[in-house]
Amino acid sequence: MRLPTLFVSHGGGPLPLLGDAAHAPLAASLRALPARLGLPAPPRAILLCSAHYEQPGPSILPSPPPDGGLLFDYYGFPPESYAFRYAPRGAPDVAESAAELLTRAGFTPRLDTSGRGLDHGAFVPLMLMWPQGEVPVVELSVLSSLSAEEHLRMGEALAPLRDEGVLLVGSGSSFHSIPKIFEGMRGGGGGGGGGDGGELIGQAFDDYLAEACTCNAGAQRAQKLAAWASAPGAREAHPRAEHLMPLLFATGAAGGDAGRAERVALGRVAMSSFVFGGQAPPSRQ
In sequence order, which residues have a C-beta less than 8 Å from that of residue 33 and are 6 or more positions away? 6, 8, 129, 262, 273, 275
Q: The whole model's pTM is what? A: 0.94
Q: What is the per-residue pLDDT for 167?
A: 99
Q: What is the per-residue pLDDT for 281?
A: 59
- What is the mean pLDDT, run by run of 10 residues, along the chain of 285 residues? 97 96 97 94 98 99 95 96 97 99 99 96 98 98 98 99 99 96 75 57 98 95 98 97 99 97 96 90 51
In sequence order, which residues have a C-beta less than 8 Å from that of residue 262 and are 6 or more positions away? 29, 33, 36, 272, 273, 274, 275
What does the DSSP 8-state code read for residue 218?
H
Q: What is the per-residue pLDDT for 186?
A: 83
Q: How far apart are CA 84 and CA 74, in angstroms?
A: 13
Contact criterion met (CB below 8 Å) for 34 and 130:
yes
Domain residue ranges in the chain: 5-276
Q: List the one residue out of 236, 279, 250, 235 whose CA is nearest residue 125.
A: 250
Q: What is the per-residue pLDDT for 113?
A: 94
**Side-by-side strand order, sheet with 137-143:** 110-111, 59-61, 137-143, 45-55, 166-172, 5-9, 269-276, 259-266
**CATH of segment(s) 5-276:** 3.40.830.10
Q: What is the per-residue pLDDT for 26?
A: 97
Q: How far apart are CA 268 and CA 182, in angstroms?
A: 9
Host H or E run for residue 141? strand 137-143
How many CB atoms lie under 10 A from the CB of residue 215?
12
Q: What is the per-residue pLDDT for 192?
A: 41
Which SS3 state, helix, strand or coil, does residue 247 take? helix
Q: What is the per-residue pLDDT for 264?
A: 96
Q: What is the per-residue pLDDT for 97?
A: 99
Q: List 168's β-bridge partners, or say none.
A: 5, 47
